[in-house]
Amino acid sequence: MEMQVFESRAAAERDVAREIAGLVRRRPDAVLGLATGNTPTGVYAELARLRREEGLDLSRVRTFNLDEYCGLAPTNPRSFRAWMERELFVPAGIALDRVCFPDGFEAGHPVRVEELPRVCDAFERAIRDAGGIDLQLLGIGRNGHIGFNEPGSTRASRTRRVELHPWTREDAAAEFGGLEHVPTHAITMGVATILEARAVRVLAFGAKKRALVRRTLDTANDPAWPASFLCAHAGVRLVVDREAAT
């Protein structure tokens, strides 16, 4: 796996945003796989700046988000969809009818658990119908998860309902006002789905990510560390700042 080290997080974020901008300028209807959380915020802010100051047109891109909590309506301010609208879609001018989430909601109502496999299959089919993902953004969770593919996920996994690891829920507790309010399950894009993206950019910033970066580089195809499945992808690049570099 190639690792690209930048002197600062801001420099790394600018580089990734410029790469996305270049892709979109070459192909205005490019398909992007997107992540939520603190890690990609600077990339999204830079894309919004490029739109505002340099006229980058993102109105025709298609986007597929990695995951969503089960039971949260798209209008819930803690949902990933609402977060993406605040952080990227509205500031960067991405058309909301061209975004797709595995959110488990239809016609404003949650789909029953037994019906979720159908929703997950439809999400996979939508990615295929769009021609596949051109560039996928990822972070690495502290237990090695990518998306919500927690330890124990397999290389062949597809979009599905998953139970969240205790650490994952702990990391989200502050956002939800306490651990007891954090959903216990989510829907996530699968490992196999992620690996079908033509390019993958894995972002890791800060000293707290250093051990995660090292384990990802030193591990291959280990279900106990899902990020290790990325090692065999020819189009993966691990993008880190100096503090996260090993």
Catalytically annotated residue among 124, 150, 196, 241: 150
Contact 18, 201 (CB under 8 A): no
Q: Compute CA distances 187 → 103, 123, 148, whole Å.
A: 7, 11, 7
Give the type of residue at 119: V
Catalytically annotated residue among 15, 57, 143, 185: 143
Catalytically annotated residue among 13, 67, 85, 196: 67
Question: Residue 221 catalytic?
Answer: no
Catalytically annotated residue among 145, 149, 196, 241: 145
Question: Residue 103 catalytic?
Answer: no
Q: Is 102 exposed, middle or buried (0-12, 13-18, 19+ CB in 10 A)?
A: buried
**What tokens does 45 get?**
């802010």
Phi and psi torsions of 214, nearest 5°: -60, -45
Question: Residue 145 catalytic?
Answer: yes
Select from 119, 12, 136 the least CA-distant residue to 63.
136
User: How far is Cα 222 from Cα 184, in angstroms, rounded to an integer?
Assistant: 24
Question: Residue 150 catalytic?
Answer: yes
Strand order in the sheet with 160-163: 67-69, 185-188, 160-163
Phi and psi torsions of 163, nearest 5°: -90, 135
Catalytic residues: 67, 143, 145, 150
